Every structure is written in C-alpha cells, then in structure tokens.
C-alpha cells in the first residue's frame, strides 16, 4: 500500500519510487551501482557523512568541494570539479550539517552544466523544513531530466528514523540499474506500516514545520545575542560558531545533559528542540562558556 500512497502524495507514478532501509541504505546502493575504482564522486564538504563513507566503500575517488564563505554549496566549483571519470554528484539540499540551501535555479544550472553521464542525486532529506521562497523540491522534474534522482526519507519530519525507511524518486530506466546492489527485504513491514500511517496524517505536517521554524528562530536569535555566528538554516538544526575551543564546549554541555553535534571545527550543529529544551541549552551553554572563557 505504501507505494501507491506515496506516489499519490508526491504526484509521480509508482514505478518512479524505490524504497530502502533508510535513505542512507539507498545512498550506499546508488554509490555502489554507479561508481567503483577508476571513477569519482563529487559532493560538498562539509556535507552528509554517508557520501564520503559510501564512496570509500565503493572504492571510488572522493572529490570534496568546500562550501563557500556562507557555508553554502559552491555550485561553480562543483561544476568545475566534475571530471571525465565522475559518475555521481550529490547535492545535499538543504545541507547537513550547515542547514543552508541551494536555490532551485542554481540546482538547475548545475544540471544543465554537468554531462548526462553523471547521475545527479539531490538529497532532500530536510526539504519540508525549508522556508526560503527560492527553493522547491526537484521531484516534479525527474521526468524531464535524464540524469536526476531525488532522495527523501521518513526519518526527519515524519519522525520515523528508528524504523529505517527512505526512498529515491527517478525515472524507472534510471532506477532499475541503481537497484542492482540492494539486497532484498531491506524495507521492513513495520517501517512500511508506519510510513503509511504517517502519510495518513500529513495534515499534521504544517504544525510541525511551524513549531520547528519558531524554535529555529529562537535558537538563532539567542546565539546571535551571545555574539555567536550562525549559518542561514533551512532545517531542524542550526550551524553555529559557539567557541574557539569546541571540544571543551561539547564536553561541558554533555556533562550537563545536552548533546550537540561536533564537526571537528569551531562550528557545531545544534538541533532545534522544544522551547524548554532550547532554554535548557542556553542555560548550559552560558554556564559552560563562562567556565571556559569568552569565545
Ligand atoms: C542529508 C541527509 N540525507 C539522508 C539522510 C538519511 O536518513 P535515513 O537513512 O535515516 O533515511 C540523512 C540522515 O541524517 C541526512 O542528514
């Protein structure tokens, strides 16, 4: 039942959908099916870690293109990074861990510039949270583009991360060869039933999106009030420069029961919580920063 229901929800034929045990499972299969030793994969850095991991598993070469000064995908640099041996290019839109988005016109420019022999996967795991009006999902364009696939998941706005179910949307002639590296039985019955239930309640999404946008604005405002720089987030997390000693801050927060995502740099990822969680985060942050010293 999930296939027809999701197809209806997305406005695509059911043969345009491929399900997997989470989007990460699909990303691995896509990378394994399209690349290998002697080929390369282009994606932004920092971005979703699975692009790097799956490229390593496939034995392909990773071509990591630094984000620009605003923590956004550098589309010109990504186009320039495509080589003769490039078979796959990931666009994480909006991007994890920075929360920044690529305007749709820029994704189209990239699709126009990249050879058709390069599969472009636009990862829209967080697309529901985007409020920028120059962004929209690429799902409706998969029939018009010969090398476009779109990844989405039930793990984010639908809250089913623990059940592991995601999907790739593309034309059947592109999907078929991509599926060859997927073992059978990866999307469990339980996950499918949960996804069907989630799709029956899409009327609740608007409220979740609004709650997230309010929490995100509060988080950004609080960070800015403390003189901490933030990237423009369109997701359910905020990328911020909390302190020059990020490890001390991460550990200090952890000892107070607050978990944030370290990135190995001064910039860290903070997930949007409920109003009381956000208040708790700022209390803990203030205590930790006053102990460690000013940023
Ligand atoms: C950008 C991005 N894409 C895809 C995924 C995959 O999510 P899942 O494997 O839970 O469907 C994630 C999860 O963190 C993500 O951040």
Q: What are the helix (H) ranges across 59-171? A: 75-81, 104-113
Both 126 and 165 in a single domain? yes
Both 7 and 110 in a single domain? yes
Both 134 and 212 in a single domain? no
What CATH number is attached to the domain comprising 251? 3.90.1150.10
Both 222 and 196 in a single domain? no
Kindly state if the Cβ of 21 falls inside 6 Å of ligand 1: no
Look at residue 295 in the predicted model and tell me its pLDDT: 54
| 13: pLDDT strictly greater than 90 | yes
Q: How far is the CA of 153 from the centre of ligand 1 (A)?
A: 7
| 262: pLDDT strictly greater than 90 | no
Kindly state if the Cβ of 98 falls inside 6 Å of ligand 1: no
Both 168 and 227 in a single domain? no
> By three-state DSSP, how is residue 31 classified?
helix
Atom of ligand 1 nearest to the CA of 92: 1
Look at residue 292 in the predicted model and tell me its pLDDT: 78
Q: How far is the CA of 96 from the centre of ligand 1 (A)?
A: 9
Last residue of a domain, one of 149, 177, 200: 200
Both 152 and 230 in a single domain? no
Last residue of a domain, one of 200, 223, 250: 200
- The band of 263, judged by pLDDT with boundaries at 50, 70 and 90, is confident
pLDDT > 90 in the chain, percent? 95
Both 98 and 237 in a single domain? no
| 294: pLDDT strictly greater than 70 | no
Atom of ligand 1 nearest to the CA of 95: 1
Kindly state if the Cβ of 124 falls inside 6 Å of ligand 1: no
| 293: pLDDT strictly greater than 80 | no
- Going by DSSP bridges, is the β-strand pair 61-66/40-45 parallel, antiparallel, or unpaired? parallel
Look at residue 70 in the predicted model and tell me its pLDDT: 97
Number of domains comprising the chain: 2
Q: How far is the CA of 111 from the centre of ligand 1 (A)?
A: 22
Q: How far is the CA of 112 from the centre of ligand 1 (A)?
A: 26
Look at residue 205 in the predicted model and tell me its pLDDT: 95
In which domain, by residue range, is 141 found? 2-200
Q: At what angle do helices 275-292 and 205-225 cross, to 10 degrees?
A: 20
Both 28 and 152 in a single domain? yes
Question: What is the overall mean pLDDT for the chain?
Answer: 96
Both 184 and 72 in a single domain? yes
Look at residue 282 in the predicted model and tell me its pLDDT: 97
Q: At what angle do helices 49-58 and 23-34 cross, to 10 degrees?
A: 40
Q: How far is the CA of 24 from the centre of ligand 1 (A)?
A: 6
């Amino acid at each position: 039942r999930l296939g027809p229901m999701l197809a209806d929800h997305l406005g695509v034929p059911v043969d345009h959908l491929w399900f997997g045990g989470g989007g990460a499972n699909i990303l691995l299969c896509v990378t394994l099916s399209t690349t290998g030793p002697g080929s390369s994969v282009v994606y932004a850095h920092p971005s979703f870690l699975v692009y790097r991991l799956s490229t390593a598993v496939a034995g392909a070469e990773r071509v990591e293109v630094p984000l620009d000064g605003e923590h956004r995908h550098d589309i010109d640099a990504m186009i320039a990074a495509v080589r003769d041996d490039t078979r796959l290019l990931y666009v994480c839109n909006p991007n994890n861990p920075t929360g920044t988005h690529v305007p749709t016109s820029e994704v189209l420019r990239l699709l126009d510039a990249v050879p058709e022999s390069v599969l472009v996967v636009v990862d829209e795991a967080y697309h529901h949270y985007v409020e920028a009006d120059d962004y929209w999902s690429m799902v409706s364009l998969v029939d018009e583009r010969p090398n476009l696939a779109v990844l989405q998941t039930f793990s984010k706005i639908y809250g089913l991360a623990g059940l592991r179910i995601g999907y790739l949307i593309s034309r059947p002639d592109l999907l078929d060869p991509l599926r060859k590296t997927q073992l059978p039985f990866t999307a469990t019955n339980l996950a499918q039933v949960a996804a069907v239930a989630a799709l029956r309640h899409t009327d609740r999404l608007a409220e979740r999106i609004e709650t997230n946008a309010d929490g995100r604005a509060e988080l950004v405002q609080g960070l800015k009030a403390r003189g901490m720089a933030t990237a423009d987030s369109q997701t359910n997390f905020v990328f911020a420069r909390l302190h020059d000693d990020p490890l001390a801050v991460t550990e200090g927060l952890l000892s107070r029961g607050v978990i944030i995502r370290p990135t190995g740099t001064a910039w860290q990822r903070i997930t949007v919580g409920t109003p009381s969680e956000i208040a708790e985060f700022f209390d803990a942050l203030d205590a930790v920063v006053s102990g460690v010293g000013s940023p």
